[in-house]
Amino acid sequence: MNAAPQARGRLIWLWLTLVAIALDQWSKHAIEQHLPLEGIYRILPVFELTRLHNSGAAFSFLADASGWQRWFFTVLACAVSIALVVWLARLERRANLVAAAIALIIAGALGNVIDRMRFGYVVDFIQVHWQQHYFPAFNVADSSITIGAALLLLDAFFSGREPGARAV
């Protein structure tokens, strides 16, 4: 007698994607409404809000290109998001950390796609620095991707330490 196959799929985690996209879009809208372009609002000596428009990718990669990058990054983010939804649908039920990570990465990708489609650029506004050394400005979508990637690394680190875990 065979045991029932383990249920698969973690699409339920798409709620996190929707919440993160909503937070991203709300925060960008608030910045667009209340802070002029390149305006700065200091919160802490190492943290400020500054409204910037990024037509490139991470760290303004290809920001100076002729405009093709808007469509390239949009198509790339959509393709990656589709692949991640498929991965999410195939996850085992117990893979909640990976599911949360994937949901956050999808949210970040799509949050920035929304900006690219609406404006032709991504609204960045979180600025951290130490004295005169500035980290590139980012937004909630970028943070979602970063947190999602960190959760994937955390899962990979801990799943390799479980007794009897297989090396992949």
Kindly list the catalytic residues: 124, 142
Place of tokens 């609204």: 123
**Encoding tokens for residue 26?**
């709300």
Residue 134's CB is within 10 A of a number of other CB atoms, namely 12
- Angle (CA) 126-24-158 rounded to 5° is 85
Longest dimension (CA), the chain: 68
Residues 83/105/77/73 CA torsion (nearest 10 deg) = -150
45 φ, ψ (degrees, to nearest 5) = -60, -20
